[in-house]
Amino acid sequence: MKKKSKVAINRRDFFKVAAAGTVTAGALVYQGCKPRSSASAEGGGAVGEVPADGMTYRTNPHTGDVVSLLGYGCMRWPLRKKADGSGEEVDQEIVNTLVDYAIEHGVNYFDTAPVYIRGWSETATGIALKRHPRDKFFIATKMSNSSDFSRQTAINMYNNSFKALQVDYIDYYLLHSVGGGDGVATFLQRYIENGVLDFLIAERKAGRIRNLGWSFHGDVKVFDYVLAMDIQWDFCQIQLNYQDWQNATGRNVDAEYLYGELVKRNVPAVIMEPLLGGRLARVPVQAFSMMKEVHPQDTPAQWAFRYAGTPENVLTVLSGMVYMEYLQEDIRTYAPLVPLNEQEYKTLEEVTKVLIDSDYIQCTECQYCMPCPYGIDIPGTFGHYNRCVSAGKILKSANDNGYREARRAFLVGYDRSVPKLRQADHCIGCDICRSRCPQRINVPSEMRRINLYAENLKQKSVF
């Protein structure tokens, strides 16, 4: 089965339209639920100058590092077909172009992990960064020992990061996705019982790790437990955005609490999922209009980035910028950051209400669940569904206006974005993916829901 080279978060479909300046909310509905999958290193939707020296920086209170507020998330590098047709590879030329551009414009924080992009991210990021002086950037990578808890595997993974990244020290090293699995017990198995954390602390002492921290998803007990340990954490990576501030979904914890705890202990926060995998850049029309009424020129993504960057204890905000136009837009947002004011916070509260009422599946297309052993394209299926939600094309009943067009758009778009054999009807409900999902989505049940919806449309049944 072929896979579409669609690693992209397709978050700014609206942005390009809005840039034309003439679009009405009504017309947006006709955007359809089509994924945008063309990768390019050329700027497309850029409006105005991209300042090279306006970046906002934050200082790490522990090491004095001056870190750019915009951090580069290296989880979503663009892929291309290999020349010999034998599969895919990271498109290194585009990666180089993007990294060069980011550094030229003041970005200095790059976040990767050994497991990202089928294990290719570190190497690709390392190649691109090797072409720059070592003191021009901070590199963050992780201990992703989620499938095998042995000490040796962990140390191999650690050593391998140095090789793949071609560095002799790592600026920011994280325990990856703390809070997953079976709560505190899993944390102890992964890092304490096998002595891995002691090993890493020794490495920090030796200077090969400059900052030691952890990224968090999931069980709040683990968060409290790890934060209360007798260890000086140099930073902590949390999911923070305006929806998650007070309305975290699944087993995620409200960002308000997480951030508050970090402030109390003077641990700087690195922010992930500021856009929820693109969903906050591709909001429903109603929410879109609310934001446009306040700032006609700003995109939903800009709102979300300003939100994530405003709190003072935020060290950097990670953005997985696959396309040059995303990179340019994000640089503009943070060069310099204009903090949100009271009225803007109120607007986002309203927007959040719309989002919560929407039918989104809380998937950020992070790929942690993949590969599904039975071949399902989980993020692809959820992504298609969510794009249809954003476009207002999910039908509530068979009597809705625009039934025919919405039906066709959903079904044809489904076959185009996900090969038939990888669609929801092939999910066997084995639950293997559930423990891997940082958003704690009940994947099999959502798959059944999407399949039921697709079947209703296919059979033209009344619902």
Partner 1 sequence: MLRKVRTILACIFFLLITLLFLDFTGTMHLWFGWLAKIQLMPAILSAATAAVAFIVILTLLFGRVYCSVICPLGVLQDGVSCVAGKRKKNRFRHSPAKSWLRYGVLGLFVAAAILGGSAVVSLLDPYAAYGRMASNFFAPLYRGGNNLLDWLAERVSSYAFYPTEVWIKGWITFGVAAATLAAVGILAWRNGRTYCNTICPVGTVLGFFSRFSIFSLTIDAEKCTKCGLCERSCKASCIDSKNHTLDKSRCVTCFTCVEKCRFGAMKYAPVSIGKKKNIKPEPAGKENSAGSGVSRRGFMSIAGVLALTQTIKAQQLKVDGGFADILDKKAPERKTPIAPPGAVSLRNMNKRCTGCQLCVSACPSGVLRPSGKLATLMQPEMSYEKGYCRPECTECSQVCPTGAILKIVPADKSAISIGKAVWMEDTCLVNRDKIQCKSCTDNCLTGAITLVAINPEDKKSLKLPAIDKERCIGCGACENLCPARPFSAIYVEGNVVHHSI
Stretch that binds partner 1, among 26-34, 164-172, 231-239, 265-273 (CB under 8 A): 26-34
d(C-alpha 407, C-alpha 200), whole Å: 54
When asked if residue 402 is in the footprint of partner 1 (CB under 8 A), the reply is no
Residue 189 contacts partner 1 per CB under 8 A: no
- For every residue of 380-393, DSSP letters joined together read HHHHHHHHHHHTT-
Tell me whether residue 463 is exposed, middle or buried, using C-beta atoms within 10 angstroms of its C-beta: 0 to 12, 13 to 18, 19 or more.
middle
Near partner 1 by CB under 8 A: residue from 294, 371, 398, 400:
371
For partner 1, the binding residue among 366, 388, 389, 443 (CB under 8 A) is 366
Among 257, 374, 403, 463, binds partner 1 (CB under 8 A): 374
CA distances from 371 to 74, 375, 451 (A): 19, 7, 20
From residue 71 to residue 90, the character string flagging contacts with partner 1 as x (rule: CB under 8 A) and all else as - is ----x---------------
Q: How many whole angstroms separate alpha carbon 99 and alpha carbon 203?
A: 28
Residues contacting residue 142 through CB under 8 Å, at least 6 positions apart: 112, 113, 114, 173, 174, 175, 176, 215
Residue in 96, 166, 370, 442 binding partner 1, rule: CB under 8 A = 370
Is the CB of residue 133 less than 8 Å from the CB of residue 172? no
Q: Which of 136, 77, 63 is nearest to 112 (CA)?
A: 77
Examine residue 114 and tell whether it contacts partner 1 (CB under 8 A).
Answer: yes
- Give the whole-angstrom CA distance, residue 348 versus residue 314: 19
d(C-alpha 358, C-alpha 335), whole Å: 32
Cβ contacts of 111 within 8 Å, gap of 6 or more: 71, 72, 73, 74, 75, 140, 141, 172, 270, 318
Distances (CA, A) of 351 to 344, 354, 400, 405, 425: 10, 5, 24, 27, 33
Q: Which of 62, 80, 81, 118 touches partner 1 (CB under 8 A)?
A: 118
Touching partner 1, residues 139-158 (CB under 8 A): 146-148
Cis-peptide, bond into residue 336, ω within 30° of zero: yes
Choose between 357 and 405: whose C-beta lies nearer to partner 1: 405
Question: Closest CB to partner 1 among 177 and 386?
Answer: 177
**Smaller CB separation from partner 1, 134 or 416:** 416
Which among 57-65, 100-108, 166-174, 371-379 is the span making contact with partner 1, rule CB under 8 A? 371-379
Q: Is 182 in the site for partner 1 (CB under 8 A)?
A: no
State in angstroms the smallest separation of the CB of 8 from partner 1: 13
In the complex with partner 1, which residue's Cβ is closer, 330 or 377? 377
Pick the binder of partner 1 from 91, 111, 219, 377 (CB under 8 A).
377
Binding site for partner 1 (CB under 8 A): 1, 3, 7, 31-32, 34, 75, 114-119, 146-148, 366-368, 370-375, 377, 405, 408-409, 411-413, 415-416, 421-422, 425-432, 448, 458-460
